[in-house]
Amino acid sequence: MTAARPPRVFRVTGSAMLLGITVVGVVLVLVDAVVRSGAGNALLIAPWPLLLLWGVYVTGIASDIRADAAGARVQNLLRRTWMPWSRVARIGIRWQVEFTLDDGAVVRCFGGPAHSRPRRLGPGRTKEQDEEPDNGLATLHRLRNAAASAPDAPVERSWDVWAIVVLVILVAWAAVAVLLTR
Q: What is the per-residue pLDDT across 152-168, written as a single tens digit (0 to 9) for each?
A: 788 999 999 999 999 99
Among 45-59, 60-74, 125-139, name the most confident range.
Answer: 45-59
In a domain, 108, yes or no: yes
In a domain, 14, yes or no: yes
In a domain, 34, yes or no: yes
> Residue 73: what residue type?
R
Provide the pLDDT for residue 21.
97
Mean pLDDT of 143-153: 74
Q: Which residue has the higher pLDDT, 166 or 147?
A: 166
In a domain, 3, yes or no: no
> Residue 147: what residue type?
A
Domain that holds residue 139: 8-181
In a domain, 121, yes or no: yes
pTM of the predicted model, to two decimals? Answer: 0.80
In a domain, 167, yes or no: yes
Provide the pLDDT for residue 92.
87
The domain total for the chain is 1
Residue 35: band (very low, low, confident or very high) from pLDDT cuts 50, 70, 90: very high
Provide the pLDDT for residue 80.
94
Residue 130: band (very low, low, confident or very high) from pLDDT cuts 50, 70, 90: very low
Mean pLDDT of 122-137: 61
Mean pLDDT of 7-11: 82
Instruction: Let me know if 39 is exposed, middle or buried by CB neighbors in 10 A (0-12, 13-18, 19+).
Output: exposed
Provide the pLDDT for residue 146.
77
In a domain, 2, yes or no: no
In a domain, 176, yes or no: yes
Is the pLDDT assigned to residue 127 strictly greater than 70? no
Is the pLDDT assigned to residue 4 strictly greater than 70? no
Residue 61 CA, distance from chain mean position? 5
Mean pLDDT of 40-64: 94
